[in-house]
Amino acid sequence: MATVNANQVALGIESFGDDDAPLVLLAGGTTMLSWPDALCQSLAAGGRRVVRYDLRDSGESTTADPDAPSFTLRDLAADAAALVDALGGERAHIAGIGVGGMVAQAAVLDHPSAFSALTLVGTRAVAPGKCDADLPDHDGATMKRLFTLTMPDWTDREAVAEFAAASAEILGDDPVAARAIAARIWDRTPGTTSPIQMANQLGMVFAKLDCKPRWRERLPEIQVPTLVVHGRRDPFFPVGNGEAIAREIPGARLLILEEAATAIPDEAAGDVAEAMLSLG
């Protein structure tokens, strides 16, 4: 683990593999650990320098006020471009998962010279809390079960891990893997910002988007090779969202993980890595 200064903030990063053309992984709604180790290792074994990092106000990156974030989607996109520059300036393959995929779309649109390829995992082309009529929204029954869970004591490592496991089971992800990842996240940021706070602050960031025209309307402008990965069983951003992105970005490839929900299972890491590496 290390930190890199980019766009006037410190970003917590972790690198895998040789010092080659970078493949930069944007975090999802929690920290860099939303990208599984197995995938990072598979990508590195394919000859890439893999860099996963924490978004602002999460993990080991600069934290100001998670309850009242002052930055915007475009700031997060600029962070990604600045990180690429800080890593040596060579154009990078950028990948985003969940809400990180939204940031990745904006980054490639706003900073096209910084990026050579794009991977989007389990995401959508509209902001949280908004949904175009042609896109499937969150599964209502799943969300009701998820939001009726009792919040844990965020200073209690075991309680946080159990909460993550219960949430994963509802979403259709592996509760054992979710428990282990939640414990690792807690160990990096004990008793500070909770995953719920992180998700809420990202929601606030996206709620005040200044993207006109909306980034969905700009997807046909994307000229880099693009891979869209989506779990068939994802109830949070149902698969129709990934299908729409793949239709609207010229030449994009769609990879559907038939047995996956919101997370990338370890058993799918090899296939996802192979597809990502094929973009160059």
* The pLDDT value given to residue 206: 54
Q: Let me know: does 71 contact 44? Beta carbons within 8 Å.
A: no
239-253 as b/e: b if 16+ CB within 10 A: bebbbbbbebbeebe
* The pLDDT value given to residue 279: 95
* The pLDDT value given to residue 199: 52
Mean pLDDT by 10 residues, the chain (280 residues): 88 88 86 94 94 86 70 88 92 95 95 97 84 90 94 89 95 96 84 52 51 80 98 97 98 98 96 95
Q: What are the residue boundaries of the structural domains of the chain, listed by start? A: 2-137+193-277
CATH top-level class for 2-137+193-277? Answer: alpha beta
Residue with tokens 């999460």: 58
* The pLDDT value given to residue 232: 98
* The pLDDT value given to residue 200: 47
Residue 24: in which H helix or E strand, if any? Answer: strand 22-26
109-145 as b/e: b if 16+ CB within 10 A: bbbeebbbbbbbbbbbbbbbeeeeeebbbbbeebeeb
* The pLDDT value given to residue 213: 59
* The pLDDT value given to residue 28: 83
CA distances from 132 to 125, 135, 137, 182 (A): 9, 5, 9, 32
* The pLDDT value given to residue 78: 95
